[in-house]
Amino acid sequence: MPELSSRNHQLRSEAERRVMNFPRQGSAADILKKAMIDVHAALPAIADGRMRMILTVHDELLFEAPREAADEATAAVRRLMEAAVALKVPLTVDVGAGENWNEATA
């Protein structure tokens, strides 16, 4: 990051903030990837194998499951994702369900 040696205080400060954030962002991405692998491996056992992981955007995952299996599916995803890595602090996951992505995130 060439901005780290900038004479412009504002550019240098922004670069410093970005560099400090890189390990956090990278770690979060690694945790999400591990959680995705764990959930994918468990898919055949969730909702009688009728749940599918269909999309990921940043730190959100979108699944498709039968309406009658929504409670089972959301509970399984939460449990698997929260257990993806062992941390000294709790790893919490927000889940939602709905007929579409908008309803699920409301």
Domain span at 31: 2-105
- What CATH number is attached to the domain comprising 80? 3.30.70.370
pTM of the model: 0.80
User: CB under 8 Å, gap of 24 or more: what pairs does 28-36 form?
Assistant: 28/59, 31/84, 31/85, 31/91, 32/56, 32/59, 32/61, 34/84, 34/85, 35/61, 35/80, 35/81, 35/84, 36/61
Res 105: pLDDT: 85
Tell me how many domains the chain contains.
1
Could you give the 3-state DSSP secondary structure of residue 52?
A: strand
- What is the residue-averaged pLDDT of the chain? 93
At 106, is the pLDDT very low, low, confident or very high (cuts 50, 70, 90)?
Answer: confident
pLDDT (tens digit, 9 = 90+) per residue, 17-64?
999 999 888 899 999 999 999 999 999 999 999 999 999 988 889 999
One-letter amino acid for residue 27 of the chain: S
Res 1: pLDDT: 85
**Contact of 62 with 54, CB cutoff 8 Å:** yes
Res 10: pLDDT: 95
One-letter amino acid for residue 15 of the chain: A
